[in-house]
Amino acid sequence: KQGILHYAFFNSLLNYIAGTKFFVVVEPGTQGMDSLLKNIYDLYVDYVLKNPFYEVEMPIRCELFELNLFQFVRKERLMSGGR
């Protein structure tokens, strides 16, 4: 896990063994980013890596991954009081 403080935002980056990097841009002090990134990675594993037509290093083009990612992010924003 790496972090970069840049002006008023904090980039939280998680680099997994597969070489894929996920990052989020949030305000400093935002809690739960490790858990958020882990959940996103779990969706990636379930919908992308387990897809027999996906090859590592290919662009991610998977409707189920995108749909579930957007639903997850929407739910997280509602739970945190965001819009």
Helices 33-44, 63-79: inter-axial angle, 10-degree rounding: 160
Mean pLDDT of 29-35: 80
Q: Which token pair is 13?
A: 């980056």
How far is residue 13's CA from residue 20's CA, in Å, rounded to a whole number? 10
45-48's contacts with Cβ under 8 Å and 24+ in sequence apart are none
Residue 7 pLDDT class (50, 70, 90 cuts): very low
Check residue 15 and give its pLDDT.
55
Q: List, in sequence order, the alpha helices (H) in the chain.
A: 33-44, 63-79
* pTM value > 0.75: no
